[in-house]
Structure 1
Amino acid sequence: MTSRVPFYLLITMLIIVGLGMSLYRHDVYGVPWTAGQEHQVWEVEARVEFQAKGDPVKISLATPDTQQGFTLINENTSSPGYGFALINTENGRRAEWTKREANGNQILYFKNQMLVDENAKFPTEPPLGDAKPVVLDSPLMTAAEAMLSQARQRSADNSTLTRELIKQFNDNESQNAGLLTKEMSKADAISAILSLEGIHARVVGALHLEDGRRRQSIIPMVEIWNNDKWELFNLDTGALDTTKNLMIWNQKGTPLLEVMGGTNSQVSFSIIAQDISPQQATDEKIQAESLLNFSIHSLPIEEQAMFKTIMLVPIGALIVVMLRVLIGLKTSGTFMPVLIAVAFVQTQLVPGIVGFLLIVGTGLIIRSYLSRLNLLLVARISAVIITVILIISVFTVVAFKIGLVEGLTITFFPMIILSWTIERMSILWEEEGAKEVIVQGGGSLLTAVLVYMAMTNDFVRHITFNFIGIQLVILAVILMLGNYTGYRLSELKRFKPLVKD
């Protein structure tokens, strides 16, 4: 008989190491056990990509500084082989990369950490001198003056003048606005018109801070100097923008990215939120221990945002093991409900359930026809996959046409898994009957809902991502459940006649 001592030692070691790593993160780095907002830090990473031509390369990227609501506490870059410097210029701070020679596709990363701080101290720099009117061609100047005249009549000060100008640009029937936006962007056109009125205006780039966002583009906005402060305007609504989670990246109105020695350049941003102590977010704290630099938090933000979802999968696996081993709940496929739950996270619960039922139900009807053709397994599965793709395409278009925006997220469902699910349920229908299909399909859906509820819980999301040692504890629990050989709860109904006797 094989000794179980090594197994129990492994379980004990996993629990001790997992809890030890978690306690270390909490005690040394001050990471809280619960997701709090007291010390929230936004990590924003700029990804600069361009094609080098074999010439000397010089890349200049505008970078943010401490501003209203945010204090800059750390910034660094990941650019092997490049020289790097942070430069303070008259037009704001810029990150600069240089290299003597570069060829092919180049990717540079610049990451900073902004501490949410209502008492952030930053200087308010008024513009120097008078606003210089922008020189425009005759037709453009005529259109600009006409729009300025109309806005001047409907406004009382610089703020309302700016608001009325933005309203005109948002009017699709305005010919003057259409003429100007053919030659320049809406933000540049508004800034140019304001300069004709002697108003200091500049185009800045902003980011909406949302946890887990990847490949986000900069949002152009217009900022004007009004008496003793800069006022930021939303170009979609024309209102003063006071959004809480809005960070100005390009603060001075200078070009966001300047590339010398390369073509096809672009910048995208990835964002992630960290609930940590301000002390842990400093340079000295991060560099003090190599263990932190060897963790997920040392990866680029885009990859961190991806891992934030991946780290929830073990929670789903634990729930599936508990439901199948302890309760005896039947599911169609072992871990298919976990993948469906991941899709629910993207689609939201109700649209996800409706989409799942529509796809599987329609797929079963089509699969019943395919079974009459006596196809080989590979051909039949391939046909089901194509059918699922067509079903998703049709449902998405129909949802868009009738105005159900939630229906557009149905594309997040894993198509291959759904195809195998339809195939398995169809065979089960033929062999066991409709009742067994309903039992396993209902069990899969119930499991997916429970996993979704766990994955969307703020505490679960916080602790699985910030305390990687918890994954070892989950592994230990799953291994222990794998040794369970007792009755499942669903099997106890067999003893009901004994109770009556």
Structure 2
Amino acid sequence: MHSRKPFFIFVALLFISGISASIYRSVEHNVPFFPGKQVQSWSVEAKVMFNGTSKPAEASLSLPQDPAFDVLAENATSAGYGLNISEGEDRRAVWSIREASGRQSLYYRVTLVPTGQLKVDADEEPVTPEPFLWQVTERGAAEQIINQVWERSASNISYAQQLMDVINDSNQSQNLALLLSVNSRTQLFVQMLQSKGVPAKLVSGLMLEDQRRRQQLNPYVQVYQDGEWILFDVENNKQGRPDNLVLWQHNGMSVLDVIGGSNSQVNFSMLKETRSALATSIDMMMNTDSLDFSLYQLPLEEQSTFKGILLIPIGVLVVVFLRVIIGIKTSGTFMPVLIALAFIQTTLLTGLIGFLLIVAFGLMIRSYLSQLNLLLISRISAVIIVVIFIIGLFTLISYKLGLSEGLTITFFPMIILAWTIERMSILWEEEGPKSVFMSGGGSLFVATLAYLAMSNSWIQHWVFNFLGIHLVILAMVLVMGQYTGYRLTELKRFKPLAEDK
């Protein structure tokens, strides 16, 4: 007996591969599983200003590199200036000009999309910092506070937490008041961490708030522990990172450098926007050159064609299920799929009416042609011509009556309709009108269900954006192809047996 084990292994591989490919596409490229999903993005504009000194000038602005936000689009413009955006660990926009006179304004705009990745992992183990060298007047006060806090801690983070609480304590000791008179809270926090060899670094962050203007970067501190940089907002006595904070500069470099100018400053304006999640993921793939193996790389006309073609496996799946498992008879194996495709263009009601009218008139003409004793090829050719004539006549009548829905009847597959009329005519002659109505009604029923499945917005989204779904459909078709049991419509034959009991 032939083993079916290799077959089921193959089907399982198809199913797993399809699901895995779809999950990978969703996770790696952020393609949403459900259509219509919206995501929030932030449009941030940095305005650099300085006074020119009638000499060559160069302004260098640090650009954001934060795993919590993806850069969807960015541009930097200022009339008369040359511009260069340097890539690498420290991304910067550099404007340059031969002569800058008066007040200068330079602009950088970026669209940021949150990734949800708030955790900042360290690329490598940081070097233990050298102990901070305190001024003679500050050393004793600092060491006393540091030693007291160190004794109450058990790790880098607990030491940082205790230290931040002490610095922000409303009941300041004389030692703390002395230190804060010459240092900011954030600077003092970092210095005390480094004094105990705790890796810590100053970073600059921008708090994103909708419709805010002229905002400044705020100082934060990252403290290292167990391969992760933990964020501390010392000024507000908070640990952890809010999801609307973008780290603008975290490499220890300056945010803004200006050569050939004075009184330089940078401020930020921001706006919260709502975007389509699918459009955002496509733009991100284009930015990272990940679109090479996507259908979105094709021209729009070809994309539209494929959106229709990729719906056919859904219709095929419906037909296989209804014919193999349910046992519904149709006129032609996959004729309902083609009719369902036409319904997508014509809408369901218009398509049903048009199909019934064409087939009804076609059967009347075919009954006359059968009396002429034509050869099969001539008879089919004549039916095709008649179908074209009927479609043209109905289209013209619809136009004259102002029924725009009737104009879409031209989307019906004419050759398939001609063969359908031929089969129904032969079936009428051999088995009578009942068989014709059964097979014709079954075809319309299957076509209607296939249309409902193929026109579903979720299914249209899945089959075009997740090509792995087609492997799952193939696996399901292969499994149903192995079914050799009774169709559900055949079970009525056993009803008398059940009644006898």
- What is the TM-score of this pair, normalised by structure 2? 0.53
Matched, 1:22 2:18: no
> Aligned equivalents of 2:79 and 2:7: distance in 1?
62
> Aligned equivalents of 2:79 and 2:345: distance in 1?
42
Matched, 1:411 2:410: yes
In the alignment, which residue of structure 2 is the partner of 1:396?
395
Cα drift, residue 297 of structure 1: 2.1
> Aligned equivalents of 1:40 and 1:375: distance in 2?
68
Cα drift, residue 10 of structure 1: 1.1
The number of aligned residues is 281
Cα drift, residue 299 of structure 1: 1.4
In the alignment, which residue of structure 1 is the partner of 2:12?
12
Q: How does 1:326-405 map to 2 (within 5 A)?
A: 326-405=325-404
> Aligned equivalents of 2:304 and 2:408: distance in 1?
19
Q: How does 1:106-125 map to 2 (within 5 A)?
A: none
Cα drift, residue 309 of structure 1: 1.3
> Aligned equivalents of 2:40 and 2:354: distance in 1?
36
Q: Give the letter aligned to residue 335 of structure 1.
A: F
Cα drift, residue 403 of structure 1: 1.2
Q: Give the letter aligned to residue 420 of structure 1.
A: W
Residues 285 and 374 of structure 1: is their aligned pair in 2 closer, same or farther, counting only changes over 3 Å? same
Matched, 1:453 2:448: no
In the alignment, which residue of structure 1 is the partner of 2:429?
430
- Cα distance per residue 1:443-498 (max 9 Å; x no partner): 00011111111111111111111100000000000000000011101100100111
- List structure 1 runs of 4+ shifted beyond 4 angstroms: 72-75
Residues 285 and 480 of structure 1: is their aligned pair in 2 closer, same or farther, counting only changes over 3 Å? farther
Q: Which runs of 5+ in 2 are unaligned?
A: 42-70, 81-110, 114-208, 212-274
> Aligned equivalents of 2:457 and 2:279: distance in 1?
18
> Aligned equivalents of 1:327 and 1:395: distance in 2?
35
> Aligned equivalents of 2:394 and 2:303: distance in 1?
32
> Aligned equivalents of 1:5 and 1:414: distance in 2?
41
CA contact (8 A) 2:72 2:287 kept: no
- Cα distance per residue 1:248-304 (max 9 Å; x no partner): xxxxxxxxxxxxxxxxxxxxxxxxx975263552366541x4xx4123222112111
Matched, 1:476 2:475: yes
Residues 310 and 286 of structure 1: is their aligned pair in 2 closer, same or farther, counting only changes over 3 Å? farther
- Cα distance per residue 1:316-366 (max 9 Å; x no partner): 000000000011000000100000000000001111100000000000000
> Aligned equivalents of 2:373 and 2:307: distance in 1?
44
Residues 440 and 396 of structure 1: is their aligned pair in 2 closer, same or farther, counting only changes over 3 Å? same
Cα drift, residue 499 of structure 1: 1.1
After superposition, the CA RMSD in angstroms is 3.0
Higher mean C-alpha displacement, 456-465 vs 410-419: 456-465
> Aligned equivalents of 2:314 and 2:398: distance in 1?
32
Q: Give the letter aligned to residue 464 of structure 1.
A: V
In the alignment, which residue of structure 2 is the partner of 1:33?
33
- What is the TM-score of this pair, normalised by structure 1? 0.53
SS of 2:485's equivalent in the other structure is: coil
In the alignment, which residue of structure 2 is the partner of 1:214?
none
SS of 1:373's equivalent in the other structure is: coil
Residues 351 and 488 of structure 1: is their aligned pair in 2 closer, same or farther, counting only changes over 3 Å? same
Q: Which runs of 5+ in 1 are unaligned?
A: 42-71, 76-87, 91-113, 122-272
CA contact (8 A) 1:26 1:33 kept: yes
Residues 284 and 311 of structure 1: is their aligned pair in 2 closer, same or farther, counting only changes over 3 Å? closer
Q: How does 1:145-156 map to 2 (within 5 A)?
A: none
CA contact (8 A) 2:369 2:379 kept: yes
Q: Give the letter aligned to residue 387 of structure 1.
A: V
Q: How does 1:22-101 map to 2 (within 5 A)?
A: 22-39=22-39
Cα drift, residue 37 of structure 1: 4.1
Q: How does 1:57-456 map to 2 (within 5 A)?
A: 275-276=277-278, 278=280, 281-282=283-284, 285-287=287-289, 289=290, 292-456=291-455
> Aligned equivalents of 1:74 and 1:331: distance in 2?
53
SS of 2:331's equivalent in the other structure is: coil
> Aligned equivalents of 1:364 and 1:274: distance in 2?
49
CA contact (8 A) 1:324 1:330 kept: yes
CA contact (8 A) 1:115 1:278 kept: no
> Aligned equivalents of 1:115 and 1:403: distance in 2?
49
> Aligned equivalents of 2:277 and 2:324: distance in 1?
35
Cα drift, residue 2 of structure 1: 2.1
CA contact (8 A) 2:387 2:417 kept: yes
Cα drift, residue 402 of structure 1: 1.1
Q: Give the letter aligned to residue 298 of structure 1.
A: Q
SS of 1:493's equivalent in the other structure is: helix
> Aligned equivalents of 1:484 and 1:16: distance in 2?
21
CA contact (8 A) 2:384 2:414 kept: yes
> Aligned equivalents of 1:405 and 1:475: distance in 2?
38
